Structure 1
Amino acid sequence: MLKRSLSCCASAIVAVMLTSLGPACAQSWPDRPVTVIVPSPAGDGSDIAARLINEKLRVALGQPFVVENRPGAGGVIGSAAAAKSAPDGYTFIMGNAGSHGINAAIYANIPYDVMRDFVPVSLVYRAPNIFIASQKLPVSSMSELIAYAKANPGKLSFASGGAGSSAHMSTEYLKALTGIEATHVPYRGAGPALNDIVSGQVEFMAVNLPPAIGLVKSGQIKPLAVTTLKRTPVLPDVPTVDESGVRGFETVAWFGLLAPSGVPQTIVERLHGEIAKACAAKDVQEKLAVLGGETVCNTPAEFRDYLAADIARWKDVAAKASIKIQAP
């Protein structure tokens, strides 16, 4: 009986100590550089989001926030590394719709569970995907692309920044709804995929709007349609896929910061507060607006609900369209 009482007392003392250490931990954090894993190459949407926010966090918190690009397998490689990292507030990940939405919906055996292994900090921004085509392809609209694909079954190829990315799944969804055929050519990120669209090595693709918008405005690639139900103000003359005849079509690219499960809640709350300030900064909003994105910066609880809803939506899309992707 005495032994059990002492054990209970010891447990209570430890609990009190840990609770009291929480605020102190948050006050002293960070006292060394913080790593933000980006599960895609430099120049992709997650990379753009991380670098914009990191600079604000560096100034606000007095320590470098360093991007570590870990691309591969549609975001699985970087996400797995983040999930296994120490939950001490010194490793985070700028996840996206592919790495933390689609992958959780379409793969049965990825080495992490989004809802179990990550703590949402804040959604940062959202942007449309955009369907684009090589200047060598004789189409100028989404309806023309669909007609051309049907007249030339199996002859078209489409690029993506990786299997399972929101851009890849956007095209698979289009194929399922329209019945067109095209061969998937996955790349390690949007940058090299866009290079081959420009050179005409691949005919078309869906891609996050931020890395593509400069090529669209310079005329190096042809914009066909954006994937949101509303047009984007940055390209007001480009119709939506829905307007182009594929009714109800919508996919959205999003980017948000997450921590490995077990990170102190006080650190999550402090970091979320600083991200909210960063998102409210005029220069951040202007830079994202030019790229076709919009800042969101919701609460950790709201981001968790958003993640759950996004995974459920992609599961529904995959089931309806019979989309299956081989696990990496």
Structure 2
Amino acid sequence: MQRRSVLQAAALASLSPLAWADGYPAKPVRLIVPFAPGGTTDIIARILSERMNGLLGQTMVVENKAGGGGTVGAMEIVRAAADGYTLGVATVSTTAANPAINPRIAYNPLTDFTPVINVAATPNVIAVHPSFPARDYKSFVAELKKNPGKHSYSTSGTGGIGHLQMELYKTLAGVFVLHIPYRGAGPALNDTVAGQVPMIFDNLPSALPFIKDGRLIPIVVASSRRVPSLPNVPTFQEVGLEPVNRMAFYGIHGPKGLPKEVVDKVNAAMKKAVEIPDVRKRIEDTGSIILANSPAEFAAQIAAEFEVYKKVVALQKLKLD
């Protein structure tokens, strides 16, 4: 009996990676969202997972692991087996902004993950509650300069892209507002829409429904050009603050050492998913731009964003509270 087990193990070990990958996935795949439900990361993950179920032949189960500005969920991916059954959504917050500002993070964004695909990029927005005494950028910055420290802003978490971009904005614009971090964009939006926090720096897709309903007022966006759904809202570049004009991204990655054949299979399935008209429309309706690039291209983007935010942290002397 023991000899048979040894022989079976040897036979499995002799299978080529390609032969093994041909059977992948043989069970449900976990997709870790490193933020609470309701934010843009969660929205895009669920749009994709619905169609990936059919394309991969197995259920893709979304799991929200919030906390630490996305680092709790990121660590869940780092600790997972490199077999393709635990993947995660990679964001600028988890792979660049948070690692740049927090030296205590227990992972290296460049070496502890396997990039698979960057699915989409999206603008960010500063939006205010309708009770805020400003409804356009000129009056907004005037109010902040008139009342330093009076107002506060919410984000998806300390060290996330919203936090670092807003802190950079504060430095360049010469204003001061207090940071109120949450465990994801969903809770941050809820409190801002309720008027408990007067403003938010958020990804546009999660904020846009509230903007359309008039429950939030958009002030300025981080985008390469004006957003069609917000034609009267200027970009940071237009108001003279080009360094703040960086978009967020939503990609897929896994733990380091993920077999190339699995990476290629998931990459190909994701590319097919975003070519499905209703999937593409739902993602683009959030204000996002489809990217669907290669693993190598995504790795280069992560490295570039990490370098940008390291420089921001150093130049602006940003530290965690």
TM-score in terms of structure 2 length: 0.93
Secondary structure in structure 2 of the residue aligned to 1:85: coil
- List alignment gaps of at least 5 residues for structure 2: 1-8
Residue 69 of structure 1, CA deviation:
0.3
**CA shift digits 1:203-254 (9 cap, x unpaired):** 1121011111010011111110111231112222211122234344312111
Q: Which residue number corresponds to residue 96 of structure 1?
A: 91
Equivalences for residues 68-79 of structure 1 within 5 A: 68-79=63-74
**CA shift digits 1:109-128 (9 cap, x unpaired):** 21111111100000011000
Q: Which residue number corresponds to residue 82 of structure 2?
A: 87
**CA shift digits 1:123-166 (9 cap, x unpaired):** 01100001101111110122222111111111111111111111
Q: Which residue number corresponds to residue 236 of structure 2?
A: 241
Of stretches 98-107 and 82-91 in structure 1, the one that deviates more from structure 2 is 98-107
| 1:251–1:283 CA distance, 2 compared to 1 (3 A) | same
Residue number among 294, 299, 313 corresponding to 1:299 in the alignment: 294
Residue number among 209, 216, 220 corresponding to 1:214 in the alignment: 209
Residue number among 169, 173, 180 corresponding to 1:174 in the alignment: 169
Q: Which residue number corresponds to residue 165 of structure 1?
A: 160
The two structures, once aligned, show a CA RMSD in angstroms of: 1.8
Separation (CA, whole Å) in 2 of partners of 1:101 and 1:45: 17
Separation (CA, whole Å) in 2 of partners of 1:218 and 1:45: 17
Separation (CA, whole Å) in 1 of partners of 2:99 and 2:217: 32
Secondary structure in structure 1 of the residue aligned to 2:123: strand
Residue number among 13, 30, 35 corresponding to 1:35 in the alignment: 30
Secondary structure in structure 2 of the residue aligned to 1:114: coil
C-alpha contact (below 8 Å) 1:143/1:245 kept by paired residues: no
Which residue identity lines up with residue 139 of structure 2 in the other structure? E
Q: Which residue number corresponds to residue 271 of structure 1?
A: 266
Of stretches 315-324 and 260-269 in structure 1, the one that deviates more from structure 2 is 315-324
Secondary structure in structure 2 of the residue aligned to 1:56: helix
Which residue identity lines up with residue 153 of structure 1 in the other structure? P
Which residue identity lines up with residue 272 of structure 1 in the other structure? N
Which residue identity lines up with residue 188 of structure 1 in the other structure? R
Separation (CA, whole Å) in 1 of partners of 2:171 and 2:14: 52
Separation (CA, whole Å) in 2 of partners of 1:232 and 1:151: 29
Which residue identity lines up with residue 135 of structure 1 in the other structure? P
- List alignment gaps of at least 5 residues for structure 1: 1-13
TM-score in terms of structure 1 length: 0.91
Residue 19 of structure 1, CA deviation:
7.7
1:257 aligns with 2:260: no
C-alpha contact (below 8 Å) 2:121/2:247 kept by paired residues: yes
Residue number among 179, 196, 199 corresponding to 2:194 in the alignment: 199
Which residue identity lines up with residue 179 of structure 1 in the other structure? G
Separation (CA, whole Å) in 1 of partners of 2:180 and 2:203: 16
Q: Which residue number corresponds to residue 127 of structure 1?
A: 122
Residue 325 of structure 1, CA deviation:
1.9
Aligned pairs, number? 313
C-alpha contact (below 8 Å) 1:49/1:94 kept by paired residues: no
Of stretches 276-285 and 305-314 in structure 1, the one that deviates more from structure 2 is 276-285
Residue 20 of structure 1, CA deviation:
4.5
Of stretches 24-33 and 278-287 in structure 1, the one that deviates more from structure 2 is 278-287
